[in-house]
Amino acid sequence: MASLPFSATSFHSTFICFNYKARNPNLFFLKKGSSFTFSRRKFIIKSVASDQRQDLKEEGQITEEASLDTFVPDSASIASSIKYHSEFTPSFAPDHFELPKAFKATAESVRDSLIINWNATYAYYEKINVKQAYYLSMEYLQGRALLNAIGNLELTGAYAEALKKLGHNLEDVAREEPDAALGNGGLGRLASCFLDSLATLNYPAWGYGLRYKYGLFKQYITKDGQEEVAENWLEMGNPWEIVRNDVSYPVKFYGEVISGPEGIKEWVGGEDITAVAYDVPIPGYKTKTTINLRLWSTKVAPEKFDLSAFNAGDHAKAYSAMNNAEKICYILYPGDESLEGKTLRLKQQYTLCSASLQDIIARYERRLGEFLNWEIFPEKVAVQMNDTHPTLCIPELIRILIDVKGLSWEQAWNITQRTVAYTNHTVLPEALEKWSLELMEKLLPRHVEIIKMIDEELVQTIIDEYGTEDLDLLQEKLKQMRILDNIELPESVVEMIAKPEKSSVEAIESTEEDDVSDEETEPTAEEDELEEEEIEEKNEVPPIIEPYPKLPKLVRMANLCVAGGYAVNGVAEIHSEIVKNEVFNDFYEMWPEKFQNKTNGVTPRRWIRFCNPDLSKIITKWTGSEDWVVNTEKLLTLRKFADNEDLQSEWREAKQRNKVKVASFLREKTGYIVNPDAMFDVQVKRIHEYKRQLLNIMGIVYRYKKMKEMSHEERKASFAPRVCIFGGKAFATYVQAKRIVKFITDVGATVNHDPEIGDLLKVVFVPDYNVSVAEMLIPGSELSQHISTAGMEASGTSNMKFAMNGCILIGTLDGANVEIRQEVGEDNFFLFGAEAHEIAGLRKERAEGKFVPDPRFEEVKSYVRSGVFGPYNYEELMGSLEGNEGYGRADYFLVGKDFPSYIECQDKVDEAYRDQKRWTKMSILNTAGSYKFSSDRTIHEYARDIWRIDPVVLP
């Protein structure tokens, strides 16, 4: 059944009865200190789910009123299922049941349960033909799936007991799972939280992405700083995915566009590849709804393998087409410094868009059958573009509707504008993608034709809005709003602008009656020439159509998103205001109804319930139930108990247990031994100059220098003990970010081995930061740093996770920090730094040479340059904070400006931490105030305001 993500009727593997152990109690045995042995003859295998249901009924496990769908397996049946998979779906040697094999068999056992709900979910959606949302993202930072899946299925206890019977601990088995390397930062983690919430809230939806073979990279920290190697997350297979060889679509690159009869366009020739679906079921919490994340992998047809070239010894030529196809899904964000890198990135983006839309359209056609009506397509389909990476959805949908389905331009454009929506995630200019028109014309020639038509529609709309009387205003609007940058205006528009108005011609052809004599006179030759010049002046094409030959011709993807979509949203209140008032202000003035805010959120299941069981039990006890896991407003109940000594005592004990786990983890990963009684101060996120890890580490250097200048007694009196923890990846070609990583590790190497300082200060960089590391660090964190230059962080989501877990934030008024501070209370948030509206003025002040750095900031730079942290030359890093202008200089991110405010705020942190009663109350109020930042709330808003879809509860 192609309509389903996975069909039991077409599944050629076998089902095993969940409770067959009742009939085979001696199916296998364990010997203490050794691996188990199987007795294969005693396995009873059922081929279809209906047989399984019948067997369960016969044995009294389910009644006539119940069904297999509602049957909840116990630990015995789960143990039998795990044993079955270790025997019959082996990835390891058959005679051992060690941890890697235990994980694989356990995951496959869980997947059996997911498949039943998964098929039921989409079968029901097909049956009732409900409108569905399709979320397209280049990243999904899933993290480990095992504990999340069994937690959502409410089987954690049963699986723990089953594995205990089999000689293993659930936590040990879960640690065998590698993180899925499908994302990098907040963009991908948000997408994964959204899928969890969509399933939990029973919204009909799909996720679409790419199946990266090597992810971004695995990060090692050496004496030279960050080093990158290919991620090996798929080395032992992925038990959660199911390859769908029956679901594949052709994707084309290069070639040419030819015109057929009646102007029909056909894209022919070029390079053809195939996108194949890999499906990953995403279960909801305490619901049967299980939605699908469909990931595309790329290959070519077997006939593309050049057998004659291979036999002739030209192996490179033989494999050429295969390699070109497969490398599309090798790496997340391949380096784009070269033309080849840019081409590969564009191929990735188009593959995601083309395969996903073909799949969406095929499903739509199948559902409507003989009643197919393209006009109602937007009433059944909502496509959400997560950032600008999936922008090619817009011209691709138009291409399919016109070239393949035979619709007119007007129909296709109208349908597209009612189907596609865009989430903006950044105000950074370099992240608002601009692609070379020349590259795009070569790679996607038909799409460039369509983009030019969209641009022409947009230009016409702008002219209709603003007219042609004020050409300076029109020029400015076109400069800011056009999709095509530095490209001549369409001919139709040039003619319209250049065409003289009737009144102008009449003014030239005649003169005022009272200025001429009654006698008719023939114009002289000079008068004739003057008149022609005046007419030419009136007809002169305005300078706005003239491109600059020395500048590149570009396609502005963000502008295409705004023009082609029906909704544009930011991801925090302050970010959405910047989007409306700065980034897309001209569009907002023309289409205010398109713009919305959808403040991000994170799933409370993964980010409290599962990763922090100690705190979860306390919350459940003091709020009276577990309702808070799906209704986070219940967390507000904690506010009335914030001063309660019993709650505070329990709260501190839970935090301390988590800190002990973190200390053990840090020792294992880095070799550093830290004191769990010290404050755990954490900054974990992508390494980027705007996120200002540099401000943090320079603050630490200042702290260290002051400590060194004091006696032992003065140090203890002046500073609360701290463990400063960093984590995050610098992009492989981002040199400055990699310098920051090196600097942090050098500071740590010096500070951590200084006997004078001891446990008063430690600096630890955790290598290869990912979701699983976050799940360990966040519950044990006490202070979390979200210190980006104001106005540059769209939202952030790690700030929400930290607040949920009772961690207090230090930060600027940026992104979601603004709303977090409002909800947790100003007294429970450490605020410093310039505000967003001041940033432009401060940069201007710097450019004019008016900035005077604080003496403490100069002191730190000199200290770094003195070589105290080793022989590495930090001149480039320190130099970036100096000067008044120039690329990579002039402290663009205002580290020096905010430094005094930052270190003074850190003094307030020390003061607060010394009063543990006050600190604990602040911690409780952070968890209570985090109620708003659940992705459930965010998804409700998307569903109501953008996608216009309703929950569908399975019968």
Active site residues per annotation: 425, 685-686, 691, 797, 801
* Distance from C-alpha of 296 to C-alpha of 182, rounded to nearest angstrom: 12
Pick from 84, 136, 201, 165: which is nearest to 944 by CA?
201
Rounded distance, CA 683 to CA 703, Å?
A: 17
The residues pairing with 556 across neighbouring beta strands, listed in sequence order, are 434
Which residue is associated with the tokens 């979509």?
A: 565
Locate 374 and state its tokens.
């393209």
Q: Which amino acid is at 569?
A: N
- Residue 785 and residue 692: Cα distance in Å, rounded? 10
**Who contacts 379 (Cβ-Cβ below 8 Å, separation ≥6)?**
131
Rounded Cα distance, 136 and 360, in Å: 11
**With contact defined as beta carbons under 8 Å apart, do 811 and 822 qualify?**
no
d(CA 146, CA 175): 9
Pairing of strands 205-210, 242-253: unpaired
CB atoms within 10 A of CB 852: 8
CA 159 to chain centre: 31
The answer to whether 698 touches 896, Cβ cutoff 8 Å, is no
Compute the distance between CA of residue 903 and CA of residue 906 in angstroms, rounded to an integer.
Answer: 5
Overall size of the chain counted in residues:
955
Q: Are 141 and 184 in contact (CB under 8 A)?
A: yes
- Please report which residue ranges of 70-98 form alpha helices under DSSP H: 75-88
> What backbone torsions phi and psi does residue 337 show, to the nearest 5 degrees?
-70, -30
Question: Do residues 327 and 344 lie in contact, with contact meaning Cβ atoms separated by under 8 Å?
Answer: yes
For 815-833, what is the HEC assignment? CCHHHHHHHHCHHHCEECC
For residues 911 and 719, give the distance between their C-alpha atoms in angstroms, rounded to a whole number: 9
Q: Is residue 184 within 8 Å of 737, Cβ to Cβ? A: no
Task: With beta carbons less than 8 A apart as the criterion, state whether 544 and 471 touch.
Answer: yes
Q: What is the DSSP letter of 790?
A: T
Structure letter (DSSP) for residue 71: -
First to last CA, the chain: 21
CA distances to 402, 450, 485 from 454, rounded to whole Å, are 14, 6, 13
Q: What is the DSSP letter of 226?
A: E
Q: How many CA within 13 A on the CB side of residue 358?
A: 18
Structure-block tokens of residue 597? 């805010």
Give the bridge partners for 244, in sequence order: 277
Instruction: Supply 629's token pair.
Output: 């896991």
Block residue for tokens 């010894």? 313
Dihedral pair phi/psi, residue 876, rounded to 5°:
-65, -40
Helix, strand, or coil (residue 262): helix
Instruction: State the angle between helix axes of 525-539 and 502-509 in degrees (0 to 180), rounded to the nearest 10.
Output: 170
Other C-beta atoms closer than 10 Å to the C-beta of 927 total 26
The token duo for 186 is 């907040």
CA 328 to chain centre: 19
Two structure tokens written together for 943: 């569903």
727, two tokens: 């984590």
